[in-house]
């Protein structure tokens, strides 16, 4: 039986950050992780990002139940099954979110999670390499945040086209102004993926106070109403990992609610159906599931300036060799080097559409949509009103839960997505692309009416892989909240949640940055030594 001050389940984005801060404070930590090592070029080389999220070695392999709003398709829901969690298989895009996201959290009951209170943690976690010093940005944190060289002319063409379409430029969407077009930021450092494992876990392990335990968490152990450890399946059988102080679940917005329910915390009727003794009736466990959907707007390129020149065996080999030898070249970038955040109309008070631009027409699974040179923008609404669930399929901890996003189940989703398609065409129609723009590959110029666009969305919309919200933070007397503002699970003692499960509402942009911030802030709540002073920027 292993024993530590704190037991954390999940060596992912939040879990690694949390473990780092706890051992930094002199505490002992047992960190449970089912996945294996993150060593190897498929993870460490930024340009290889399409590989690890499609490899069963690194990915849990989750998929949604058939989605009625998307022609009953089952959508992939990758989650990292590896050291670093999803920060080791994601696109490395770094987006904090909009200040109004966090103010909304606070207004919905998550006191102390408004922008003024989370900004100091965003600053503490990063070392920013984006330009001149900024009072919004951190200078000495574990997480290096960089920008790509934008040497391909298409990156700047996209930014210029956004300006020509009437949108502002933003020098730093993670700083004073998110809205607009500008350079995209990434967790890449010296040509390598700078995951939570590289930034936080390895320094924490050097402290000698962190024990990394390979195994699958089965359930939280209780004595009376207090969490005292975790039952884990390991190679040699079942073992108890005991906590002197607290247990923290950082197992993802899919596995965290599953573990809570297996431990008797969740909707009473659902647990009864599975024969699980009820410990705390929390209907919010597994509810409030949210995600970002996106479509790929793709165009042929009239000049051979795209990455298609390297999209063959010889080209990939040359890129890979340069990266292996020097950690430079195309392999040292995720190729998401410019972006945009815009409002779909003037009545929307802050950006509700995000763009990732890519100088290649390709899918996330690495398959080209069309042969030849092309480019694309990933575009989708940021704040869908649709909500889904994570539910147990079985009491077997090794079995995947049932995931239902209920994508496109709110009527506003359709109007928002149509706006995405039409505004993207307006942007790509600007003169900045006149020298590069060929025919529209996808959806195709003939797709114009609402009905045609809706049919395209049903057939082609894909997840941006941003699930969250399944154990949301709120006021302690909120019957639908799962954790209080200090991330303590309501109804029991000695148990907290620290990952993207706690998000009351999904943030504007990719979720890795706010997930890491959650781990950083959770550490101060747990240690009880005072929080960072709020910022009035």
CATH number at residue 325: 3.30.410.40
Range with the lowest mean pLDDT among 225-239, 365-379, 481-495?
365-379
Domain count, the chain: 2
Phi, psi of 483, deg, nearest 5: -125, 150
52: in domain: yes
Tell me the two tokens of residue 263: 């431990």
Task: Output the domain CATH number for residue 47.
Answer: 3.50.50.60
Number of helices and strands (H, E) in the chain?
A: 13, 25
Residue 368: the pLDDT is 62
Residues 220 and 90 in one domain: yes
Task: Name the strand (E) or helix (H) holding 268.
Answer: helix 268-273
| Mean pLDDT of the 330-353 span | 97
Instruction: Tell me the C-alpha to C-alpha distance, in Å, between residue 126 and each of 60, 122, 133, 537.
Output: 28, 7, 13, 18
216 and 319 part of one domain: no
Phi, psi angles (nearest 5°) of residue 402: -90, 125
- Compute CA 327 distance to the chain's CA centroid, rounded to the nearest angstrom: 25
Report how far apart the first and last C-alpha atoms of the chain are (Å, whole number).
48
In a domain? residue 216: yes
In the block, tokens 């599975």 appear at 274
Q: Is 260 in contact with 482 (CB distance < 8 Å)? A: yes
Q: Give the Cα-Cα-Cα angle 282, 292, 252 (nearest 5 degrees).
A: 45
Total-model pTM: 0.98
Whether the Cβ atoms of residue 251 and residue 270 lie closer than 8 Å to each other: no
Q: Which residue has the higher pLDDT, 311 or 288?
A: 288
**pLDDT tier for residue 366 given thresholds of 50, 70 and 90:** low
Same domain, 390 and 377: no
Instruction: Tell me how far CA of residue 18 lies from CA of 68, 249, 349, 479, in angstroms.
Output: 38, 11, 34, 27
- Which residues are annotated as part of the binding site? 82, 90-93
Using pLDDT thresholds of 50, 70 and 90, give the confidence band for residue 297: very high
pLDDT of residue 305 exceeding 70: yes
Q: By three-state DSSP, how is residue 378 classified?
A: strand
Are 302 and 227 in the same domain? no
Radius of gyration of the chain (CA): 22
Residue 1 lies in a domain: yes
Same-domain status, 393 and 355: no
Do 224 and 111 share a domain, yes or no? yes
Distance CA 178, CA 426 (A): 21
CB atoms closer than 10 angstroms to residue 56:
8
H/E stretch holding 316 reads helix 313-326
pLDDT computed for residue 119 by the predictor: 98
**pLDDT bucket at 298, cuts 50 / 70 / 90:** very high
**Residue 1's pLDDT band (cuts 50, 70, 90):** confident
- 3-class state of residue 225 by DSSP: coil
pLDDT (0 to 100) of residue 362: 86
Token output for 300:
């042929």
Tokens of 513: 């940055």
63 plus 121 within the same structural domain: yes
Closest residue by Cα to residue 454 from 404, 406, 427, 419: 419
The per-residue pLDDT for 371 is 76
Residue 502 lies in a domain: yes
The confidence score (pLDDT) of residue 367 equals: 64
Tell me, yes or no, if 356 is annotated catalytic. Answer: no
Which pLDDT belongs to residue 363?
74
The domain of 103 spans 1-144+186-289+386-404+471-532
Instruction: Please tell me the predicted confidence (pLDDT) of residue 210.
Output: 98
| Mean pLDDT of the region 93-118 | 98
Averaged pLDDT of the chain:
97
Contacts (Cβ under 8 Å, ≥6 apart) of 337? 147, 148, 149, 150, 152, 155, 183, 184, 357
CB 492 within 8 A of CB 482: no
Question: Which residues have a Cβ under 8 Å from the Cβ of 27 and sit 6 or more positions away?
Answer: 5, 6, 209, 245, 527
Q: Within 13 Å and on the Cβ side, how many CA atoms surround 433?
A: 27
C-alpha 291/C-alpha 253 separation (Å) is: 11
Are 195 and 327 part of one and the same domain? no
CB within 8 Å of 236: residues ≥ 6 apart = none
Binding residues for FAD: 82, 90-93
Q: Which of 12-16, 166-170, 313-317 comes out lowest in average pLDDT? A: 313-317
Query: Is 354 within the bounds of a domain?
Result: yes
Confidence of residue 365 (pLDDT cuts 50, 70, 90): low
254 membership: H or E segment, kind and range: helix 252-262
- Could you give the 3-state DSSP secondary structure of residue 446? coil
Mark whether 397 and 425 lie in a shared domain.
Answer: no
Q: Is residue 55 classed as helix, strand or coil in its secondary structure? A: coil
Residue 465 lies in a domain: no
Angle, CA 184 vertex, CA 362 and CA 59 arms, to 5°: 55
Q: Which residues contact 232 (CB under 8 A, 6 or more apart)?
A: 32, 213, 215, 216, 217, 218, 238, 239, 240, 241
- Looking at the fold, whether 81 and 207 belong to one and the same domain comes out as yes
- Residue 27: what pLDDT? 98
Residues 137 and 241 reside in one and the same domain: yes
Q: State which of 434, 460, 486 marks the end of a domain.
A: 460
Inside any domain, residue 415:
yes
Q: 466 lies in a domain?
A: no
Q: Which of 257, 253, 259 is nearest to 230 (CA)?
A: 259
pLDDT above 70 covers a percentage of the chain that reads 99
From 200, 99, 180, 151, select the one nearest 427 (Cα to Cα). Answer: 180
Rounded to an integer, the average pLDDT of 156-182 is 98
Distance CA 83, CA 16 (A): 9
Catalytic residue among 144, 356, 378, 466: 466
Residues 6+ apart with CB under 8 A from 451: none
β-strand 374-381 against 353-358: which pairing, if any? antiparallel
If asked whether residues 177 and 190 sit together in one domain, one would say no
Q: Quick one: DSSP state of residue 201? A: I
């Amino acid at each position: 039986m292993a024993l530590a001050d704190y037991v954390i389940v999940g060596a992912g984005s939040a879990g690694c950050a949390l473990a780092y801060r706890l051992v930094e404070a002199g505490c002992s930590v047992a960190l449970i992780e089912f996945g294996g090592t993150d060593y190897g070029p498929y993870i460490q080389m930024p340009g290889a990002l399409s590989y690890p999220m499609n490899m069963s070695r690194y990915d849990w392999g989750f998929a949604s139940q058939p989605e009625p709003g998307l022609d009953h398709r089952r959508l992939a829901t990758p989650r990292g099954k590896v050291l670093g969690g999803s920060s080791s298989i994601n696109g490395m895009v770094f987006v904090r979110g909009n200040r109004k996201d966090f103010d909304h959290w606070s207004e919905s009951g998550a006191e102390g999670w408004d922008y003024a209170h989370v900004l100091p943690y965003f600053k503490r976690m990063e070392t920013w390499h984006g330009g001149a010093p900024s009072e919004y940005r951190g200078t000495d944190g574990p997480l290096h945040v960089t920008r790509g060289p934008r040497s391909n002319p298409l990156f700047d063409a996209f930014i210029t086209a956004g300006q020509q379409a009437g949108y502002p430029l933003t020098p730093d969407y993670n700083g004073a102004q998110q809205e607009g077009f500008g350079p995209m930021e990434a967790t890449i450092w010296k040509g390598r993926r700078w995951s939570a494992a590289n930034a936080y876990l390895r320094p924490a392990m050097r402290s000698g106070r962190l024990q990394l335990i390979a195994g699958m968490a089965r359930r939280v152990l209780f004595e009376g109403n207090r969490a005292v450890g975790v039952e884990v399946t390991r190679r040699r059988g079942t073992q108890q990992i005991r906590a002197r102080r607290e247990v923290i679940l950082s197992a993802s917005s899919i596995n965290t609610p599953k573990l809570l329910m297996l431990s008797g915390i969740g909707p009473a009727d659902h647990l009864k159906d599975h024969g699980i003794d009820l410990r705390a009736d929390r209907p919010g466990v597994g509810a409030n599931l949210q995600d970002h959907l996106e479509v790929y707007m793709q165009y042929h390129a009239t000049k051979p300036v795209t990455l298609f020149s390297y999209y063959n065996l010889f080209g990939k080999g040359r890129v890979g060799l340069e990266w292996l030898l020097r950690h430079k070249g195309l392999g040292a970038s995720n190729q998401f080097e410019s972006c945009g955040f815009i409002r779909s109309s003037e009545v929307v008070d802050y950006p509700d559409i995000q763009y990732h631009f890519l100088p290649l027409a390709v899918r996330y699974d690495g398959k080209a949509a069309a042969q030849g040179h092309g480019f694309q923008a990933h575009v989708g609404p940021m704040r869908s009103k649709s909500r889904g669930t994570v539910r147990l399929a079985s009491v077997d901890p090794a079995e995947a839960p049932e995931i239902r996003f209920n994508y496109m189940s709110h009527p506003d989703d359709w109007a928002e997505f149509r706006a995405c398609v039409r505004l993207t065409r307006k942007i790509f129609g600007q003169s900045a692309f006149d020298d590069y723009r060929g025919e529209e590959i996808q959806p195709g110029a003939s797709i114009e009416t609402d009905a045609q666009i809706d049919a395209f969305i049903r057939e082609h919309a894909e997840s941006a892989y941003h699930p969250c919200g399944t154990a949301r933070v709120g006021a302690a007397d909120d019957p639908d909240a799962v954790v209080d503002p200090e991330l303590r699970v309501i109804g029991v003692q000695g148990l907290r949640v620290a990952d993207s499960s706690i998000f009351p509402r999904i943030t504007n942009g990719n979720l890795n940055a706010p997930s890491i911030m959650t781990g950083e802030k959770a550490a101060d709540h747990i240690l009880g030594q005072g929080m960072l002073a709020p910022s009035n920027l």
